[in-house]
Amino acid sequence: MSISSEHRSLGKQVTSNLQTLSPIVELNVGGEVYTTTLSTLKKHPGSKLADMFTGQPKLRTDSEGRFFIDRPGTYFKYILEYLRSNQVPTQCIQDVYKEALFYDIEPLVKQLQDSPQIFGEVVARKQFLARVPNYSENIELMIRIARAEAVASRQSSVTVCVVRTEEDAAKCHDALNSLDMDKKSVVKFGPWKATPSISDLLDCIKMDIEAKGYKISFQPHVTEKGFRFKSSDFFYKFLFTWW
């Protein structure tokens, strides 16, 4: 029998076993091999993971006939630990949370959201940033401007205008008209209605750009003497370092 026909035969055998509720299932999750039971995988009906093993199989098999899931295998062990014993992971919380969302295991998602790491990110920081108009779009704009200026340079600078109130927004507009710079290259954040300060937003900008793999720092934008607004009132310079 050829290798391909053996593979097809083995795949049919696994399919048949699944349809007869074979208690033992072998998985290949992103290259990591796991052995568990069908009842464990289907512990939470309605989850995406349970749906994968309900009715007709919805997954491909690898060369050994194991069901293949194209996700990070490292964190699947924490998913299995929870399904087996209701043990909520205490390591790799952010990554396990992403996998719990993917597999749609709602009880685990809710418990992880109560952890300090996820609570702070999802409930506190993300809710604040949702109140800052066009925050995500402005992050991408900053990166595009920096990359456009990176040719034959060690650093790129992007000027950012940050305003917390509508009154500050009007002042920023007046100040921008007085600055000797291309207005299109200035990225504006705000105003917003939430308690975090301008300093908090600047930290968020730095954090989110660094999370994309960039090396970045920021400082108040320095203007010439006689300018009627302090540079630190609204304007900041973000430096992208390439090498």
For 16, other C-beta atoms within 10 Å of its C-beta total: 10
pLDDT given for residue 156 in this prediction: 93
Please give the model's pTM, rounded to 2 decimal places.
Answer: 0.65
Full 3-state SS string of 125-160: HHHHHCCCCCHHHHHHHHHHHHHHCCCCCCEEEEEE
Q: Which fold has domain 19-127?
A: Potassium Channel Kv1.1; Chain A (3.30.710)
Mean pLDDT for the chain? 85
Q: Which residues pair with 219 in a beta bridge?
A: 237
How many Cα neighbours within 13 Å face the side chain of 178?
Answer: 15
User: Is residue 217 within 8 Å of 157, Cβ to Cβ?
Assistant: no
Which residues of the chain register pLDDT less than 50?
Answer: 1, 3, 5-19, 226-228, 231
pLDDT given for residue 9 in this prediction: 46
Q: Give residue-wise pLDDT tens across range 113-150.
A: 999 888 888 778 989 999 999 999 999 999 999 999 98
Residues of the chain with CATH 3.30.710.10: 19-127
Alpha-carbon span 186 to 104, nearest angstrom:
40
Alpha-carbon span 141 to 225, nearest angstrom:
30
Alpha-carbon span 158 to 178, nearest angstrom:
18
Q: Give residue-wise pLDDT tens across range 28-42.
A: 999 999 999 999 999
